[in-house]
Amino acid sequence: MRPYIYSVVTVALSMTVMAGCSSTTVVQEKPPIPEVPEYVKVPHPINFELASLRAIFYSPLAPQDVQGEFSQNCDAEFQKLAQISTSLEERQKAAVELVSGDPERMHWCFYGKISKLQETLQGDTTWSQRQKKVFETFTYLSPIANAFLDVYHDSRYLRWATQYYSKISEWVFFRKVTPGPDSSMALVQSAGQSNLEPWIPIDTKISKKDSVFTKYGISLAPTVASGSNPLDHAERIPASQPAPVAETKPVTTEPALDDLDAPAVPAPVKPVELPKTKASDPMIGY
């Protein structure tokens, strides 16, 4: 009996150990797909070269005449406000309003203004005219770049404006400049973040009561960034919603061979009797 009892106890202990070592795997639910602003589809320069900047203007998403009339007048509302108000706080608030309301238009206007400024700097102008143009352009570029950083945590515009100003300052103002502590801190903190990080949902609807442009009676342009480009007017679905299932038409497949009706067997053909030939007749075809 003892060997039998010993074997039973051994089996029981082994089963207890196996049961104690087993663990339940908890399957966590997948996190929801983060919402991203629609403007992230527009192209950005791949580096800080002007050739890379101008290459984005050939995108089908670019507005019509992006390097011409569009870039010339896309900041008209902001420049009107800059002439009326000298408050830097109101200018930054206006830039946040523009970026929140129409980020695609401000995207193309930002890079378009840099391209137009470069044309002026390379043209036949005096040093005073070039310096004045730089001040006018960066009166718009700086608030817009900071607005993209504040609203969407997107530092690409601020990095481009900082790099570009550092280059042109040496031969326009004869001064070598470097980013200040605040700008450096903003760039360093944003450098480790992905440009497509989970975005914080924001309320882009600004009431007329809180609008800086309404305060000074300035009307904004319609929120259409790319003219009649059909890609810009396509309906988009938020990332967190499942895509609709397209209607499928029934597929017509070839029927199986077993399902086919056998063709009617034709009536037997009555053989035709050929005339008998003689040995003296010539062989036709030889």
- The average confidence (pLDDT) of the chain is 73
- Coil, helix or strand at residue 157: helix
Contact in structure between 121 and 168 (CB atoms under 8 Å)? yes
Q: Taken in order 60, 221, 97, 161, is the CA torsion positive or negative?
A: positive
User: pLDDT by residue (tens digit) across 60-103?
Assistant: 999 999 999 999 999 999 999 999 988 999 999 999 999 998 99
Higher pLDDT, 267 or 230: 267
Locate 285 and state its tokens: 């075809």
Band (280; pLDDT cuts 50, 70, 90):
very low
Short-list 85, 196, 189, 89, CA closest to 147: 89
Contact in structure between 53 and 119 (CB atoms under 8 Å)? no
Q: Look up residue 271 and give its amino acid.
A: P
Contact in structure between 71 and 109 (CB atoms under 8 Å)? yes
Phi-psi sector, 227: left (phi>0), alpha (psi -120 to 50), beta: left
Locate 194 and state its tokens: 């992905």
Structure letter (DSSP) for residue 40: G
Distance separating alpha carbons of residues 245 and 104, to the nearest angstrom: 29
Distance separating alpha carbons of residues 94 and 151, to the nearest angstrom: 12
**What pLDDT was estimated at residue 207?**
64
- pLDDT at 38 > cutoff 70: yes
**What pLDDT was estimated at residue 263?**
46
User: pLDDT by residue (tens digit) across 13-24?
Assistant: 455 444 445 556
Band (8; pLDDT cuts 50, 70, 90):
very low
The residues spanned by each domain of the chain are 44-193
Average pLDDT over residues 111-134: 93
- pLDDT at 283 > cutoff 50: no
Average pLDDT over residues 205-213: 74
Band (230; pLDDT cuts 50, 70, 90):
very low
Higher pLDDT, 12 or 129: 129
Higher pLDDT, 258 or 92: 92
Average pLDDT over residues 167-192: 72
- H helices of 41-193, in order, are 50-55, 71-73, 76-84, 88-101, 103-122, 127-152, 156-172, 181-191
Average pLDDT over residues 110-115: 97
Average pLDDT over residues 140-166: 92
Contact in structure between 183 and 158 (CB atoms under 8 Å)? yes
Distance separating alpha carbons of residues 57 and 51, to the nearest angstrom: 10
**What pLDDT was estimated at residue 211?**
87
The helix-helix angle for 88-101 and 103-122 (nearest 10°) equals 120
Share of the chain above pLDDT 70, in %: 54
Higher pLDDT, 28 or 57: 57
125-129, 234-238, 257-261: least confident range: 234-238
**What pLDDT was estimated at residue 171?**
87
Distance separating alpha carbons of residues 203 and 148, to the nearest angstrom: 14
